[in-house]
Structures are given as structure tokens and as C-alpha cells.
């Protein structure tokens, strides 16, 4: 079980107010809402870029992630901006993340080989991130998030910068990765097609509150 409770944050004239919210511990939970609904604020609060109040708890399989220091929460995060190091190759970007998480080189290279196959990255692995296409950068960012064997994958508008054809391809790719790795995923998006393609559960947010929460059979 992954249960978020007492996620409150005031931004003056806007508030995040979520008393209880379940994120699936298997499959994809989509947090959906229009711009300004609070999606990104919730994302930033969960990953620790902003601090919630002292009552905030996040029970993940019996462990309160809110009480764990951010670097130790083992969350794989992909931002909309992807944030690759442009002077590094795709491979170096991924292995840099493994090193930062203090993963033994033998283990990280083994994991990398598996990700290269699943994400179809062999053709551009040794190219500089600065010259990669949008779809290639996205694959590198996903591999970088997964290299540390995270307990959960969190994606913030991961398809927003891609054209329509690439979005369709990327949705299918991410779906295969999530299923093959069996990793619970939170996807933040404003795009109804993301919900249609990927969601096992959709949580609709409006004005900082979850107004609808339903599983998709």
C-alpha cells in the first residue's frame, strides 16, 4: 500500500489540501488536472523539493517516506525539462546517477545493459546529450531514474515537449518499461490521452484538492 495523508501546503491565495490519497503500489496512478490545479505542487511536495507540514505522512509498504531524508527515499524522478547534463554522453548521464546513489559499478553496468535493451538506446548511448532528439533525451532521463532501482517512478508531464507522433510512441515505451520492471508509477499530466493510454487509476485534482479518485478496470 502507498497512502499519502495530511498533504497540506499554503501558497498564500492557493492551497494544497489532501487529507488522504492512495497511490497504487502496482501499475500507474495518474494525477490529472488542468494548468494551475496543483499537480506540480503535489509532485514537488512528494519528492521533497518543497516541505509539507509536520502532519504529512506517506506510508509505503509500512515505511513512512515523509520521515526519511530525501536522498534516501529511493524515488526515481523524471521532470518535464528532463535536466540532462549536456556535456555528458547518454551513458555518462545514466551512470552518474548510479554513482550518486552509491551503487556498485558492477551492479550499475548490469542494470544499464538491461535498460539499454528495454528502452532501445544502443544506437545513441555514446552520443552527447546535447545532440540527442527529444525522444532520445526522454529515454535517457527514464533510464537515469531507474538505474538506482527506485521503489517508485514519478513522472512530471513526461511527454509535453514531444510532438504528437513521438508522444504515442513514448507512451507505449514507458508502458512496456513499467510492466517489465513492475515498478509503481505516479504520472502527473494534463493530457487526457495519457490517462486513456496508461492509467490504472486516475486522481483528478482541482484547486489543490483531489475531487475524483477512481480505479480503471
Q: Which domain CATH number covers 172?
A: 3.40.50.300
Grid cell of 138 as nine digits: 526522454
CA angle 73, 135, 34 (to 5 degrees): 65
Does residue 122 sit in the same domain as residue 165? no
Q: Are residues 26 and 117 in the same domain?
A: no
Question: How many structural domains comprise the chain?
Answer: 2
Q: Let me know whether 94 and 46 are in one domain.
A: no
CA dist., res. 10 & res. 29, Å (int)? 24
Task: Report if residue 80 sits inside a domain.
Answer: no
User: What is the longest distance spanned by two Cα atoms in the chain?
Assistant: 50
Query: Is the same domain home to 41 and 5?
Result: yes
Instruction: Write out the chain's pLDDT in tens, 217 residues.
Output: 799 999 999 999 999 999 999 999 999 999 999 999 999 999 999 999 999 989 999 999 999 999 999 988 999 999 888 889 999 999 999 999 999 888 898 999 999 999 998 888 999 999 999 999 988 999 999 999 999 889 999 999 988 878 888 888 889 888 988 988 899 999 999 999 999 999 999 999 999 999 999 999 7
Residue 104 half-sphere exposure, CB side, CA atoms within 13 Å?
3
Torsion of CA 130, 131, 135, 140, to 10 degrees: -50
Domain span including residue 131: 87-149
For residues 68 and 1, membership in a common domain is answered with yes
Assess whether 31 and 122 both reside in one domain.
no
* Residues 135 and 168 occupy one common structural domain: no
Amino acid at each position: 500500500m502507498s497512502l499519502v495523508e495530511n498533504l497540506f501546503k499554503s501558497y498564500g491565495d492557493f492551497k494544497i489540501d489532501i487529507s488522504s490519497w492512495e497511490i497504487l503500489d502496482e501499475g500507474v496512478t495518474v494525477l490529472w488536472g488542468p494548468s494551475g490545479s496543483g499537480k506540480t505542487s503535489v509532485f514537488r511536495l512528494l519528492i521533497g523539493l518543497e516541505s509539507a507540514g509536520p502532519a504529512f505522512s506517506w506510508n509505503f509498504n509500512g515505511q513512512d517516506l515523509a520521515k526519511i531524508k530525501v536522498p534516501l527515499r529511493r524515488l526515481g524522478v523524471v521532470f518535464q525539462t528532463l535536466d540532462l547534463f549536456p556535456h555528458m554522453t547518454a551513458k555518462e548521464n545514466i551512470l552518474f546517477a548510479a554513482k550518486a546513489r552509491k551503487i556498485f559499478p558492477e551492479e550499475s553496468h548490469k542494470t544499464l545493459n538491461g535498460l539499454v535493451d528495454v528502452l532501445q538506446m544502443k544506437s545513441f548511448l555514446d552520443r552527447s546529450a546535447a545532440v540527442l532528439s527529444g525522444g532520445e533525451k526522454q529515454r535517457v532521463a527514464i533510464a537515469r531514474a531507474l538505474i538506482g532501482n527506485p521503489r517508485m517512478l514519478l513522472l512530471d508531464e513526461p511527454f509535453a515537449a514531444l510532438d504528437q507522433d513521438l508522444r504515442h510512441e513514448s507512451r507505449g515505451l514507458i508502458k512496456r518499461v513499467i510492466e517489465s520492471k513492475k515498478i509503481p508509477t505516479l504520472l502527473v499530466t494534463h493530457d487526457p490521452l495519457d490517462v486513456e493510454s496508461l492509467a490504472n487509476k486516475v486522481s483528478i485534482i482541482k484547486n489543490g484538492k483531489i475531487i475524483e479518485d477512481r480505479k480503471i478496470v
